Amino acid sequence: MPADFPEDFPVDSGVEKERAGEEDGLGILPSRLGEALRLQAAASPDHPALRDQGRSWTYRALFSAVDEARNRLAAKGVRAGDRVMVVNENCVAVVVLLLALAEMDAWPVPVVARLSGREIAQVHTLSEARCVIYTVDASMQARLHAEHAGAGLEEIPGVGRIAVSAMNGAARIVPVDPDPAKQVAILVCTSGSTGRPKGVMLTHRNLLYIAQTSARLRQLGPADRFYAVLPISSIVGFSVVVLGTLLSGGTVCLSSRFNPAQLARALAEEEITILLGVPAMYMLMAQYAETSGLTSLPCPRLRAMGSCGAPLDPLVKEAAERLFGLTLHNGYGLSECSPTVAQTRLEEPQQDCSVGPLFPGVEARLLGKDGRKVRDGEMGELHVRSPGVMLGYFRAPEETARAIDSEGWLNTRDLARFEGDNLFIVGRTTELIVRFGFNVYPAEIEMVLNTHPGVARSAVIGQRIAGDEQILAFVKPRPGIILSIEDLASFAAARLAPYKRPNQIILMDELPETALGKIRKAELARLRQADEEPVG
């Protein structure tokens, strides 16, 4: 039996039903990102659009800065159809640059400045970038990358300094499509499970559909202040946080990096109303409160908070809700969907870690190993179709064809099940471990390990040995805690069936993470392989 699917998938369920989210009822979307900004600048010119380190930019000032940046980039030699990398951390400049490039029909390629030079070079090669822009005023890492590349400094009035590399004369332009549903507005590079970057092409329509729908579900309005700590270089940071807030006339409160004390201060003093973060952020907030002797955090205006980007552990959910005094909502998405697929609703808080009902406008089906739909309540591989599904992977038609079929269904490669209308993500198809003929889901083992009081985070992978798979658990201890592997093994043995128990537990000071805090399991597998290769 292939290791990609559980043994108990039905051979033929006979079920020919697909699930669909509710009708979106959104009316007419703006045609392009630039139109959305123009509408808000006309309607509320003096309302704050962005806040960064105590300074505000109104919608009028943001619109003016985008227009100025577009003119300056064109004068530097950026053309419609070019790809332009933006090496950044969260700041006003990155918002301005992404909107300006999309408005001139160039493709912004946002890259978090915390990546290594090698990783940035990979994205440059993949995107065939015309040039690279660095947000040097907001990021020491971006400044170092710019110096290494020999990029020259430029000033954008009202925004600050950026650095721009020399133009790549070999870069080929791509044709501009007059249809916003087909014109790429951003190229997001994602490594997925392989560690090799892919360029996800997302259109104006993709982004505006997600932005407007997510804003409606969160009931965003001009009075809202959305705390933007998720990297804007990630699609959730750009489409959900930045665009969703700007479409609603609210204020984006920018934070370049997550810091527990800084977040606590912002919640208490800056009238933050909406908070969205990864599970690791909420876990660190709970640890910060514990070490500070706090049982709760003052957040007088906070009305909604959500988790995204990685599986939500029940203990993290419980701790966050106790600390903030609000329900921690959950959601699920992927870059290829711009990103949202499912999201819990404010009016229907969930006690479990479901990712909620399907997003309005999303269709979903669960398929077994035979390619047929599974019965209600059964687990299957999740396929989705929605206005958020990407145009495809950049210059990778074969990979695109493997991901999206002729009817527009995207294979997420995630295993999932429904309980009523609520979707539960079980794990990655490619991460499923088959041991002694039994299916083992890494998320279940990670959940057990993470309940140990000395464990900060864990990651579980499989390793094929002699026709079977072993279970490897990588564990990061909590700060100041000395963990015993023997104690952890006993802890897991008391809570897991024998075939689910890790064969080996490896303690690590740090686990490799993406900018969103998701553990890079492909990198763990490579590190493990390198450790076992013979020397000499």
The H helix count followed by the E strand count for the chain is 15, 26
Closest CA to 192 of 431, 439, 448: 431
Chain segment 80-119, per-residue pLDDT in tens? 999 999 999 999 999 999 999 999 999 999 999 988 898 8
Joined tokens for residue 418: 């429904």
Helix ranges (H only) for 240-351 are 244-248, 260-269, 279-291, 314-324
- Most confident range, picked from 119-123, 344-348, 453-457: 344-348
- Residues 6 or more apart from 235 whose CB is under 8 A from it? 186, 188, 200, 202, 335, 338, 339
Select the more confidently predicted residue: 377 or 350.
350
- 329 neighbors 371 (Cβ within 8 angstroms): no
pLDDT at 438: 67
476 alpha carbon, distance to own chain's centre: 22
pLDDT at 521: 87
Chain segment 406-449, per-residue pLDDT in tens? 999 999 999 999 999 999 998 877 787 877 666 787 888 998 89
DSSP state of 142: H
Gap between the Cα atoms of 59 and 65, Å rounded: 10
pLDDT at 436: 63
- Low-confidence winner among 2-11, 115-124, 276-285, 332-341 (lowest mean pLDDT): 2-11
Residue 56 has pLDDT above 50, yes or no: yes
- Residues 6 or more apart from 292 whose CB is under 8 A from it? none
Chain segment 96-107, per-residue pLDDT in tens? 999 999 999 999
- 177 neighbors 183 (Cβ within 8 angstroms): yes
325 alpha carbon, distance to own chain's centre: 25
Closest CA to 163 of 143, 140, 191: 143
List phi, psi (to 5°) of 239: -75, -45
Domains and CATH numbers, the chain: 22-204 (3.40.50.980), 432-531 (3.30.300.30)
Residue 387 has pLDDT above 50, yes or no: yes
The most distant pair of C-alpha atoms in the chain lies apart, rounded to whole Å, by 69
Chain segment 42-54, per-residue pLDDT in tens? 999 999 999 998 9
Which amino acid is residue 443, in one-letter code?
Answer: A
464 alpha carbon, distance to own chain's centre: 29
Report the percentage of the chain scoring pLDDT > 70: 92
3-class DSSP assignment, residue 457: strand
Helix ranges (H only) for 330-473 are 397-403, 442-450
What is the strand order of the sheet 468-477 is part of? Answer: 455-465, 468-477, 504-507
pTM of the entire structure?
A: 0.85
- 43 neighbors 248 (Cβ within 8 angstroms): no
Gap between the Cα atoms of 93 and 317, Å rounded: 34
pLDDT at 49: 98
- Residues 6 or more apart from 29 whose CB is under 8 A from it? 205, 208, 209, 212
Gap between the Cα atoms of 339 and 344, Å rounded: 15
pLDDT at 467: 61
Gap between the Cα atoms of 115 and 81, Å rounded: 25
Residue 283 has pLDDT above 80, yes or no: yes
pLDDT at 6: 38
pLDDT at 115: 85
pLDDT at 499: 81
Residue 201 has pLDDT above 90, yes or no: yes
Question: Confidence band (pLDDT; 50, 70, 90) for 533?
Answer: low
Chain segment 453-478, per-residue pLDDT in tens? 999 999 999 887 756 788 999 999 99
Gap between the Cα atoms of 407 and 389, Å rounded: 12
Mean pLDDT of the region 297-320: 93
pLDDT at 217: 97
Report the percentage of the chain scoring pLDDT > 90: 73
Gap between the Cα atoms of 291 and 166, Å rounded: 48
3-class DSSP assignment, residue 338: coil
Joined tokens for residue 289: 């409160």
pLDDT at 13: 34
